[in-house]
Amino acid sequence: MYMAVGLAGKVSRRVYSPSAVSSFFEVCDRDNTGVKIADPLRIGSRGGGFKLKKGTYTLAFEVPDGSDTVLINGVQTQARTTKRVIDNLRRIYGFGPVRIEHTVELPVGSGFGTSGAGALTTAIAISDLFGLNLTLSQAADHAHRAEVESVTGLGTVTALAYGGGAMGLVTEPGGFSLGRVDAILKDYSEYVIVCAWFGPIEKSTVLLSEDKLTLVNTHGREAMQRIMEERTPEALLRYSRVFAEKSGIATPEHLKLADAAARRGAVGATQNMIGNAVHCLVEKPKLDSFVTWIRGAVGGGEVIISELSDSGPRLLSSP
């Protein structure tokens, strides 16, 4: 794990958040009359997916002068969502420049919820650093606002902040204080998520594309209805696979791989929303044979394996 050395000033405790892979979604950015919602806390999504134990660890440092900096796995980056959290909190609480260091265990920009996890852990770390005493709901709302304003996500933070259920469903949109989260109750320790990852994408082009929203929302609502009727992991992935195809988001190659994964023993599989990756839910007794198969099937892709998590974010004991 990357750690900073030789930095002056105070440092927060380390903050952890799980990751979240989204399987399907519906964009909720208009009110009942069809008018665009202005308040970022009321904008969000309905959808579902899986929380992963591989996550994001964040430290916040107070720096004596200069400007804000953000590092991801030791590399300085623009990290617009994290910087939006910093800016929004500074306008309220008036602190000086900070250095944020994220250690991210999954690929960025690939539908693993890393921007949401980074935003959430940043809000908590800054609160810890400066003694702001933010509640979880307040920190999550700041992170959600930053995600919406940065066009990097809609419902991820609300799902991550929820402390129960590894197979989650965001059933009502909005920030954590307004949204509603449910979960399919299964023994998550019996399963592993196996992902085939093929590189990052810029999701803002999808989230901002009005011509795709009708298809996305129609089939996202239908997927949610079907999944809530059956309430099983099999249904979650089955109808997410249907959503991926009918919404027009999935590529033919990813759909083909998802279908092959199901034939090879996965409980189900679909494309990450939104990402250049396919996630597969696999029962642990089948893991070894499944991983052997998928490593041979993905060509130039990378295989990522993570256990599931039913926890939310938390402060760790020390940096």
Q: Over the stretch 90-140, which tens digit does the pLDDT of each residue have?
A: 999 999 999 999 999 999 989 999 999 999 999 999 999 999 999 999 999
Do the beta carbons of residue 113 and residue 22 sit within 8 Å?
Answer: yes
Please state, for a pLDDT cut of 90, what percent of the chain lies above it: 87
Reported as a single tens digit per residue, the pLDDT across 178-220 is: 999 999 999 999 999 999 999 987 665 565 567 788 899 999 9
Residue 156 contacts residue 20 (beta carbons within 8 Å): yes
- Domain for residue 3, yes or no? no
**Separation between Cα atoms, residue 112 and residue 115, nearest integer Å:** 8
Q: Which residues contact 269 (CB under 8 A, 6 or more apart)?
A: 237, 241, 257, 258, 259, 261, 262, 278, 279, 280, 281
| One domain for residues 203 and 171 | no
Let me know whether 48 and 175 are in one domain: yes
Same domain, 175 and 216: no
Residues 247 and 176 in one domain: no
* Residue 259 maps to a domain: yes
The domain in which residue 277 lies consists of 186-307
Domain of 293, CATH number, reads: 3.30.70.890
Same domain, yes or no: 143 and 257:
no
- Kindly state whether residue 261 falls inside one of the protein's structural domains: yes
- Average pLDDT over the chain, rounded to whole? 94
Q: How many CA atoms lie within 13 A of 109 on its CB side?
A: 12
Tens of pLDDT, residues 222-236: 999 999 999 999 999
Eight-class DSSP state of 306: E
d(CA 40, CA 244): 26
